[in-house]
Amino acid sequence: MLSRVRRTLTVQLATAVTVVVALVGTIVYLSVSTGQRRDSERELRGVIASGAVENAPPCVFVFAVEGGAIHRTPNAPAALPVRADLRATGTVVRRHRINGIDYLMRTEHHGSAVVQAALDRRYEIQERRRLYTALIIAELAGLAAALVTGQLLARRAIRPLAEALERQRRFVADASHELRTPLTRLHTRAQLLARRTDSDELRAIVADTRRFGEVIEDLLLSAQLPPRAAEGRPVDLAAVVRSLVSAEAARAESRATRLTLTGADAPCVVAGVESALSRVVGALLDNAIGHTLPGGHVQVALRRGEGQVELVVRDDGVGLDPRDTERIFQRFTRGMLGEGRRFGLGLALVREVVESHGGTVEAAGRPGEGAAFTVRLPAAPEQAPVPTGRRPHRTPRAQVG
């Protein structure tokens, strides 16, 4: 995220400098061009007014036509004068390209005489080209300087934010880690007391400590995700899903909920962090079971398409409002129905994990008609089989839920 911010600031500064330099260059170029045209026309008027046919200024050729005779400046090009302009009435100012040379021509009628002055524009055009080249060099130099300066300024501006985020990440990781041990002990003792006394209050405490443990696990994984996601390795998502569906089977049975799995017979290998992907599948299963009424059905489907692996967790429970399909992925957004954590930190973490693995997650549903969550992850290239004997990391419910 910080890298994107630095790049954005750098690009914005470079764009601003480039636009300013280009605007200034355009104004200078137009100003010089207009000034050259105005000076050239003034010079031609002065030459015609002075009648200097024999002693015309450099690059200017004068022709005087009277009584059929043409008086010309020595060494004037043979292709000049332009006779079409001589035959025209009134004062004519035109540009002509003759034998590959650009001329600015002015023709005036003085009684029975016609005077035409031609300015060779080659030197004028060369000056403009040199100016154009200088402007391009200035533009490139300004762009390079803006990129370097923008990078330095962006790093300096972002450094306090990066340090604050790092301190926040360390705090969340340290706090979550330190809370796990006492919470595990509390949860275990509450379970033992609940079994001995058969107390509803103690069972409620066990459920609360389990949910508290899940929140801590989410915080810990959220703090550790970016560096661990960068070290992704081949993971058989089918094995992860089979293991977690098996682990949730008892809970689903206790709620009279049918839990089925399809498409997990063949390996579906993705590149990523196995514990993070386990958390994604676990959170989706927890939501689906928690939001399904007794006698309902939770379907888990896994399939591999072209270049991607798709996981769908569908339930026929309380459902969700289509307007909430994006809101439920925001942190600490709360809903009112069901016992799972469809609204809260769980789904926000699911999206973070999935997107950090280069995938997408979508939600769909309607109130009273259930919901479906679809996760799509890039499939890993074909390679050696991934070991599936090791069970994916999952915190035991007896410890923190």
When comparing pLDDT for 4 and 305, which is higher?
305
24-34 per-position pLDDT tens digit: 889 998 998 89
121-141 per-position pLDDT tens digit: 998 889 889 998 998 998 888
Percent share of the chain, pLDDT over 90: 25
Rounded to whole angstroms, the Cα distance separating 71 from 262 reads 101
Q: Is the pLDDT of residue 229 over 80?
A: no
Q: Rounded to the nearest 5°, which phi and psi values hold at 190?
A: -65, -40
148-185 per-position pLDDT tens digit: 887 887 777 777 767 777 776 777 666 766 777 787 78
Mean pLDDT value across residues 189-218: 74
The b-or-e profile of 66-97 (16+ CB within 10 A means b, else e) is eeeeeebbeebeeebbbeebbeeeeebeeebe
What CATH superfamily is the domain 231-395? Histidine kinase-like ATPase, C-terminal domain (3.30.565.10)
Split at pLDDT 50, 70, 90, the class of 359 is very high
63-102 per-position pLDDT tens digit: 998 887 888 998 899 899 998 888 888 899 999 999 999 9
Where do the domains of the chain lie?
2-125, 231-395
Q: Is the pLDDT of residue 349 over 70?
A: yes
Task: Give the CA angle between residues 106, 107, 111 to the nearest 5°.
Answer: 150
4-16 per-position pLDDT tens digit: 777 887 888 888 8
Rounded to whole angstroms, the Cα distance separating 303 from 7 reads 37
Q: Is the pLDDT of residue 227 over 60?
A: no
Q: How far is CA 334 from the centre of its chain?
A: 29
Q: Is the pLDDT of residue 142 over 50?
A: yes
Q: What is the pLDDT of residue 340?
A: 44
Q: What is the pLDDT of residue 8?
A: 82
Q: What is the pLDDT of residue 236?
A: 92
Split at pLDDT 50, 70, 90, the class of 320 is confident
Q: Which of 393, 133, 153, 165 is nearest to 279 (CA)?
A: 393
pTM: 0.48
Q: Is the pLDDT of residue 224 over 70?
A: no
Q: Which residue has tokens 């992925």?
A: 329
Three-state secondary structure of the chain: CHHHHHHHHHHHHHHHHHHHHHHHHHHHHHHHHHHHHHHHHHHHHHHHHHCCCCCCCCCEEEEEEECCEEEECCCCCCCCCCHHHHHCCCCEEEEEEECCEEEEEEEEEECCEEEEEEEECHHHHHHHHHHHHHHHHHHHHHHHHHHHHHHHHHHHHHHHHHHHHHHHHHHHHHHHHHHHHHHHHHHHHHHHHHHHHCCHHHHHHHHHHHHHHHHHHHHHHHHHHHHHHCCCEEEEHHHHHHHHHHHHHHHHHHCCCEEEEECCCCCCEEEECHHHHHHHHHHHHHHHHHCCCCCCEEEEEEEECCCEEEEEEEECCCCCCHHHCCHHHCCCCCCCCCCCCCCCHHHHHHHHHHHHCCCEEEEEECCCCCEEEEEEEEECCCCCCCCCCCCCCCCCHHHHC
When comparing pLDDT for 395 and 199, which is higher?
199
Task: Locate 140 and state its tokens.
Answer: 């490139």
Pairing of strands 297-304, 308-315: antiparallel
